[in-house]
Each structure stands twice: as C-alpha cells, then as structure tokens.
Amino acid sequence: MTELESIGLQSIGIVALLSIFMGAVICLQTAHQIGGWIPVYTIGFTVRQTMILEFSPTLIPVILAGKVGSNIASQIGTMRVTEQIDALEIMGVNSANYLILPKVIAGVLIIPFLVILSMFLGVGAGAWIGVATGLSPLADFEYGMQVDFRVYDVIYALTKTLVFGFILTSVSAYHGYYADGGALEVGRSSTKAVVWSVVIIMISNLLLTQMLLN
C-alpha cells in the first residue's frame, strides 16, 4: 500500500497537470493546421489518437521515470550506502525481494490507472479548450472522438504501459541497489536510473509498436 501511494497517488498531480496542458495544446496545434477541406472534427480525432496512442502510454511513463524512478533509485541507493541493505541481509532478509518486488508490483499495477486518467484528462482538456476558444464546437469534437475508434488502440496503449511500468521500476531499483560509495554515487545512480529507464522505454516503445500495430 505504501508503494502504491508513493508511486501512484503522489504522482496524480504531475500526471494531471501535464495531461491537461498537453491535451489543450494538441487541440490548439491541430486547429492551427487544419482548414480548407479538412473537417473540424479532425481536432477531436487527433487529440484522442495522440493521447491514447502515444502521449499517455509513453510520455507519462517517461515523466514518471524522472519522478518515481529517481525516487526509487535514490531511496534504495541511500539504503545501500548507509548499510541498511547489509542490515537486512544480516537478519536473513532477502533484501532484493523485500525492497524491489513491492515497488515493481506497485508500478505495474498503478501506472496503467495513471495512464487511463491521463487519457481522460487530456481529451477532456482538448474538448474544453476547443469549445472555449471557439475553434471546435463540442458536437464536432465529440464526433471526432468517436470516428474510427478502435478498442484495440486502448489495449495496445495499456499493454505498453504495463511493460513501461515494469521497466521504470525495475531499472531504477537495479541502479539504486547496486549503488556503491556515498552521496555522490547515490546521485549518479539516480541519474543513471532515469536515463536508462527512458532509453529502454523508448526502444521498447518502438519494438512494441512494431509488434502490436503491424
């Protein structure tokens, strides 16, 4: 429960903030580019597709790699350099199991919910800004949201999210667990955790997209 709270509930604010602004910006950018023979409902369609296919399932985990990943790495890294992990081992506790597994499970369980929340907020914010600025009537936006909607897109997005949740928690925990030295090394392990999580998430994103959409 503590891990669910730490990884999930405490990330709702940043996820909501980014999703709302990103949905609104996508709406404005799409409206700026369409015209002539391109129908207005394209705005709703584009916001939906962007949020569901890429922004929420990929960029939210990337952002969480920065927030949650660095937190996991520095927390476990500090436990390593202050001998707390040695203390667990001396007691006969499997320290990797005790420290890492709950974080990975929590990440895999809670991050998909954050991503679903992001999708709703992003699309909602897009609709709101479209109507508020007069760029897209609500009816057109709603129609665009429903055009060519495939449930499989959501399944694809959530599948990616599960994988990315596993990657960001396990890679971060690995770097923290094998930190060695003092405060400087903990800082380095935290940076490495974020960088490697993002790199692996991006590569996995490419591979998963190729596998699941083609």
Partner 1 sequence: MIELNHIYKSFGEHEVLKDIQATFERGKVNFVIGRSGSGKSVMTKCTVGLIEPDRGHVTYDGRDFTAMSVVQRKAIRREIGMLFQGSALFDSMTVEQNVQFPLRMFSDLSDPEIVRRAAECLERVELPDAGARFPSECSGGMQKRVGIARAIAMNPKYLFCDEPNSGLDPQTAIVIDNLILDITREYEMTTVVVSHDMNSVMEASDTIHFVHEGSILWKGDRAGLLQGGVPELEEFVFASDLMRQIRQSPVGRNTNLKP
Binding site for partner 1 (CB under 8 A): 79, 82-84, 86-87, 89-93
Could you please report the per-residue DSSP string of 118-139?
A: HHHHHHHHHHHHHHHHTSS-HH
> Residue 97 CB, nearest distance to partner 1 (Å)?
12
Closer CB to partner 1, 87 or 203, in the complex: 87
Closer CB to partner 1, 90 or 207, in the complex: 90
> Residue 2 CB, nearest distance to partner 1 (Å)?
9
> Residue 183 CB, nearest distance to partner 1 (Å)?
13
How crowded is residue 21: how many other Cβ atoms within 10 Å of its Cβ? 14
Closer CB to partner 1, 7 or 79, in the complex: 79
> Residue 201 CB, nearest distance to partner 1 (Å)?
28
Closer CB to partner 1, 90 or 155, in the complex: 90
Distances from the Cα of 198 to the Cα of 1, 141, 194, angstroms: 26, 33, 6
Q: In the structure encoding, which two tokens stand for residue 74, read together?
A: 């520095």
How crowded is residue 146: how many other Cβ atoms within 10 Å of its Cβ? 12
Residue 8 φ/ψ, nearest 5 degrees: -95, -70
